[in-house]
Amino acid sequence: MKNRLNNRLGLGGWLGGGRYGVDRYAYAFHRLTGLGILAYFIMHIFVTGMRVGGQEEWERTMAFFNAPVFKAGEFLVFLAFIFHAVNGIRLVIVELACGIGRPHVPAYPYTNSTMRQRPFVVAVMILAALLMITGGVDFYFMLN
């Protein structure tokens, strides 16, 4: 731990994309969505805990959370989950050294891993957008 570098940039270091562009913003957004999901999840444990009170207690709780503001909040959590999950799968694949290209002798014009991964990042964002649109249609435009 002694030779660990100080994070002198603090929160700016977390959130700033710098020259890394979209990948870095995906990283920052992954963290933000993770924190949001964690906060919701802890509340969700207590809300679902209302089942212990039986059917009537559960129905009262659901009636309370049926307000449009909670519905909108629920949809935000859904969007956060989609982004976090799809981007997380990309991160696991990259962590396992897949999809980043084979090592090779540098030759002009030089490439870097960030640029080699860019199509993967774009594909993941398109997939996340499609899932978000599908969920949005289900949430707001389809009647049960």
Partner 1 sequence: MRESRLWFWHILSAIVIVFLLGAHMGTMHMNTILNSLGLGSADPVDSVEVFRRSASPVFLVAYIVLLGSALFHGLYGLRSMLFELSLSKSVEKTIGGLCAFAGFALFGYGTYVAIVVYRMHGVQP
Structure token digits, residue 141: 């435009």
Least separation in angstroms between residue 112's CB and partner 1 is 24
C-alpha to C-alpha distance for 107 and 89, rounded to whole angstroms: 31
Work out how close the CB of 111 gets to partner 1 at its nearest, in angstroms, rounded to a whole number.
Answer: 27
Interface mask toward partner 1 for 115-144; x: CB under 8 A: -------------------xx-xxx--xxx
Q: How far apart are CA 87 and CA 26, in angstroms?
A: 8
Q: Which CB, 72 or 115, lies closer to partner 1?
A: 72
Instruction: Measure the CA–CA gap between 97 and 52, rounded to whole angstroms.
Output: 45
CA distances from 113 to 36, 78, 107, 130 (A): 30, 31, 14, 26
- List binders of partner 1 among 31-60 (CB under 8 A): 31, 34-35, 37-38, 41-42, 45, 48-49, 51-52, 54-55, 58-59
Scan residues 59-118 and list those touching partner 1 (CB under 8 A).
59, 62, 74, 78, 81-82, 85, 88-89, 92, 95
Rank residues 34 and 118 by Cβ distance to partner 1 and give the closer one: 34
Which residues would be at the binding site for partner 1 (CB under 8 A)? 1, 4, 6-7, 10, 14, 31, 34-35, 37-38, 41-42, 45, 48-49, 51-52, 54-55, 58-59, 62, 74, 78, 81-82, 85, 88-89, 92, 95, 134-135, 137-139, 142-144
